[in-house]
Amino acid sequence: MAFVVVGVDADENKSRSNIWLVDADGSGRARPFTSGPGDSTPRWSPDGRFLAFSSRPQDGLPQICVLPVDRGGERVVVTTWASPPSEIEWSPDGARIAFVARDPDPETYGKPGESRKAKDIPPRRVTRFFSHLDSEGWIFDRPSRVLVTASDGTTSPRILTPGPYQADGITWSPDSTTIAFSSARHDTWDLDWIIDLFTVLADGSELPVGVTGHEAQYLLPSWSPDGKRLAFLRMATPLDEPRHLRVGVVDLDSGETTELTSGLDRNCAPYGAARAPVWAGGRLLFSVETEGNAHVYSVGAGGDDEPEPLVDGQRWVQGWDWASGTLAMAVTTPTTFPEIVTVRVERSAGSGVSGGPGASAGSSAEERRHTDLSAAFVSHVKLVDPVPYGARSADGTEVPCWAMPPVDAEAGRRYPTLLNVHGGPFTSYGNRFFDEFQVEVGAGFGVIYCNPRGGSGYSEAWGRAVRWPGAEPDPGSGWGGVDFEDIMACVDEAAKRFPWVDPDRVGILGGSYGGFMASWAIGHTDRFKAAISERACNNLLTLEVNSDIATLFRSYVGRTHLEDPQAYLDCSPITFVNEMKTPVLILHSEEDYRCPINQAEELFVALRLLGREPEMVRFPGESHELSRAGVPTHRIKRFEIILEWFKKQLGA
C-alpha cells in the first residue's frame, strides 16, 4: 500500500509531504518511499511495479514522476506542468497517464514558471460567477483540464478538455481508449449549477461527449470492469440545498441511470473524505457519513439490494481503496491520527464484512493495523476521549452532543468550558482527531460540542431544517433558528450533567458557519461570558455578492437577494449588533475568499461605533483554510491568541 505522510518543516515554516509504503500482508514495517518535500497522489501502475506521483520540487515546475518499487532506480520525470496535478490515473494498459491540472492563460500569467507582478497582468474580463476560489485564486482563466501523457515521458501532455470549462474526476475505460470525467460544459452552468458526466477519446481525436441527462450534478465517475457502465455520485437538485449525494450507475449504451442508495438516508460524500465509488465485481463500495462517523458501505450495482456497511464503528475512515480482496483504509479516532488499516473484502462481499469497534452483527473479518504514526505524539501528550450525550432541544428534538473534561480534571472542581460550533453548516463533528479540542482541554478548558440541525451525517430532513421560511420545498427555520436552539440545549444539558462544567464561565467559538453562530449567539443571549467569531458569515446580504461562492445562499433562501434582501438580513448577525454585549474577539484571514474580510470589518466597525470593546486579529496572506492549512507559525499563533483570550475573559 502507498500512502502520504504530511508533517511540518519548522525551519522553512511550511508543510512537507512524502510517500510511504507498507506491506498489505503485514510482513514488514511502514517505511518512507520518497523524500519529499512535496510528494503526493501516489498511483500504482497496473502491473504493480511502479508508482506515479505528483512532486513539488523546491525550485522549478510541478512534476509527475514515476519510480520503480520492486528494484532500485531514479525517479523518471514524466512531465512538468504549470500547476500541480490534483488527480493522476494510469491507463489499464500502463502506456499512458491521465491527470487533472490547472492550465493558466499565458497571456495573463506568462510562460510556465514565469512569475508576473500584479502591475504586469492585463485586466481580467469576467463573465460568469465562481470565477475565483478560496486558496486557489482566480480560476476562470486557469481552468482545470484533463490531460494525457505517455507513462515513460516520451510525449508532451495533450489537453483533452478544451474551452473555459472546469473538469475533474477522471476514470479510464477498461480498454484504455477513453476517459470519463465530470464537467459543466454549457453556457448557463453558473446559473443552474448542473454538472454532467462526459467521455473523451484518450488520443484527443474528438471533442468530449455528454453521457448524463443534464438535470443534476454528477460527480466522481468510476468505470465498470466490463466497460458498460459508469458509477457516480449524484446530487439531484443543485439549486435546492442541502441534499445528500447518492450513488448511482449510468448505462453507457442506453443512457439510463439507476440510483442505488435512495433507501439509505445518509450522505455518501463525507466532508474531507469523498471519493468515487469503487467496483468490486458486481458490487460498488462507497463512503457514507453517519452520526459523526465515516464508514465504507457496499451495494449491488444492479439496484436489486439495499446498501449495507462493510466497515463501521465509532471512527472516521478518512481515505480508502480496494484491490484484490483487500480494503485499505486511513482510519482516525478522537485520540489517534489517521492510521493504515486493512480488512479482507472479497469481490462477492455482501454481508457481515466489517470489523473493529462497533462492527456489524455477524462480522467475522479480522482487521489489521499497519502503522502507528500517532505513537510518538501520544507518548508525551495527554489526550482526552469525548463522552457522548444527548440534549433535548426546545421542540423536543434529541441533539447528539459530546463533552471533554480538561486534562487531569480534579473531582469537585468546576472549569471554564468552551462550546465549539462546526462550519458548513452541512458538515459535522465526528469521531476523528481534531487538534482544536485537544489543544483546548490541554490548556485547562472543558470542551462541549454537538451536531445541530442543518448539518450532515443524519437524515436529509435534519440537514434541510435550516432552509429559510418560505423556501420551497421544505421550508425551515433559517440559520439561527432550530440550530441555535440545538446548541443552547447542548450547553444546558452539559451544565446539568457534568460536574466539571462551570455554567457561569462558558465561552463560544467557531469558524465560517460556526463563526456565524458565535456572532448570532451573542446577539440573542447573554449566556456566554466571551466569544470568538472566526472567518464568520456576519452579513449574508453582502456575502451573497462578494464570496467566491456568491449566489450559493439562494439555494437555502429560495429566492435571490434581489428579490428579497430582507430575507438575507433577517438571518444575519449584523442585524442584531445592538444586542451584542458579550466580549468578542474577531479572527479573520486577509485573503479569505469564502468569507471575505469585510465580514469581520462590518462587525468590528458596528460594535466599536456602539462604544463596545471588540478586538480584531487579521492574518496576512492566509485564506479561509488558516486553521487547517495555514503556515505553521500562523497556526501556532492562532492557538495562542485563542487560549489567551479565553483565559483572560473566563478567569482561567
Residue 58 phi, psi dihedral angles, 5° rounding = -65, -35
Residue 373, exposed/middle/buried by CB under 10 A (0-12, 13-18, 19+)? middle
Return the closest-CA partner of residue 284 out of 309, 301, 268, 305. 301
H or E segment at 351? Answer: none
The three-point CA angle 328-78-275 to 5° equals: 30
Cell of 209: 461527449
**Distance between CA atoms of residues 292 and 296, nearest Å:** 14
Please identify which residue in the block is written with the cell numbers 502503522.
371
Is the preceding omega at residue 106 within 30 degrees of 0, hence cis? no
- What's the CA gap between 405 and 409, in Å, rounded? 6
* SS3 call for 423: coil
pTM of the model: 0.96
Lookup: cell for 73: 532506480
Q: What is the pLDDT of residue 348?
A: 52
So what's the pLDDT on residue 509? 99
| C-alpha–C-alpha distance, residues 295 and 270, integer Å | 9
Q: Which pLDDT score, from 0 to 100, does residue 345 have?
A: 87
Would you say domain 384-650 falls under CATH 3.40.50.1820?
yes
The SS3 of residue 312 is: coil
Enter the C-alpha cell of residue 631.
503556515
CA quadruple 300, 365, 338, 22: dihedral sign: negative
DSSP E strands: which ranges in 394-518?
398-404, 415-421, 446-450, 501-511
Residue 360's nearest CA partner among 297, 449, 268 is: 297
Q: Report the C-alpha gap between 195 and 165 in whole angstroms.
A: 11
Query: What residue ranges do the domains of the chain occupy?
Result: 384-650
How far is the C-alpha of 543 from the C-alpha of 561, rounded, in Å? 10
- Ranges of the chain with pLDDT below 70: 347-365
Q: How many CB atoms lie within 10 A of CB 629?
A: 12
* DSSP β-bridge partners for residue 283: 280, 300
Q: In the chain, how long is the greatest CA-to-CA distance?
A: 75
What DSSP designation does 465 have?
A: G
Q: What's the first-to-final CA gap in the chain, in angstroms?
A: 47
pLDDT of residue 74: 87
Which pLDDT score is estimated for 115? 87
Whole-number Å distance between alpha carbons of 90 and 299 = 26
Per the structure block, which three cell numbers stand in for 564? 428579497
Q: Rounded to an integer, what distance in angstroms lies between the CA atom of residue 7 and that of residue 377? A: 12
Query: Residue 516's closest CA among 500, 539, 494, 493?
Result: 539
Helix boundaries (H) for 91-161: 106-109
Strand 415-421 versus strand 336-344 pairing type:
unpaired
Look up residue 449 and give its three cell numbers: 460540542
